[in-house]
């Protein structure tokens, strides 16, 4: 399979919120997030899952692959704008090494959309 590294994504990283006692929390300050544009990557479809019940959800996954030798600064907790969607980084990005050199980075992204009746959230 040939990959064409013609897509661009934007990495969105928010600092952790510090509470009134000076402790770092797990919450993120998204209005203060930084945005970093990453060019020449491949974004491919991943898995899609639909769950029913009282609250229906659709989980869509995408996969990012960098060119040989390129890395991208991504960590769990970041968000990424790709293909017009705002997605969460799903787990730790995989960094592959060949002959003791960085070969490529792969990362998974996830978007979860849910709704009750006809209202989407």
CA distance 43 to 8: 9
The pLDDT value recorded for residue 49 is: 80
CA distance 70 to 7: 14
- Reported as a single tens digit per residue, the pLDDT across 35-93 is 999 999 999 988 778 777 777 888 889 999 999 999 999 999 999 999 999 999 999 99
Please give the structure tokens belonging to residue 24. Answer: 């770092």
Write out the residue range of the structural domain in which residue 64 sits.
7-115
In a domain, 1, yes or no: no
pTM exceeding the 0.85 threshold for the entire prediction? no
In a domain, 2, yes or no: no
**8 Å CB contact between 89 and 109:** yes
In a domain, 121, yes or no: no
In a domain, 56, yes or no: yes
In a domain, 120, yes or no: no
Q: Quote the number of domains for the chain.
A: 1
CATH code (residue 37):
2.40.10
Q: What is the mean pLDDT of the chain?
A: 88
In a domain, 26, yes or no: yes
């Amino acid at each position: 399979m040939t990959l064409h590294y013609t897509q661009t994504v934007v990495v969105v990283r928010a600092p952790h919120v510090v509470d009134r006692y000076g402790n770092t929390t797990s919450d993120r300050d998204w209005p203060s997030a930084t945005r970093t544009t990453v060019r020449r990557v491949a974004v491919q479809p991943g898995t899609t899952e639909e769950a029913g019940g009282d609250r229906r959800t659709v989980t869509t996954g995408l996969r990012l692959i960098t060119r040989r030798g390129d890395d991208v600064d991504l960590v769990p907790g970041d968000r990424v704008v790709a293909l017009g969607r705002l997605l969460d980084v799903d787990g730790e990005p995989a960094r592959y090494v060949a002959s003791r050199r960085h070969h490529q980075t792969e990362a998974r992204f996830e978007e979860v959309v849910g709704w009750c009746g006809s209202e989407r959230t």
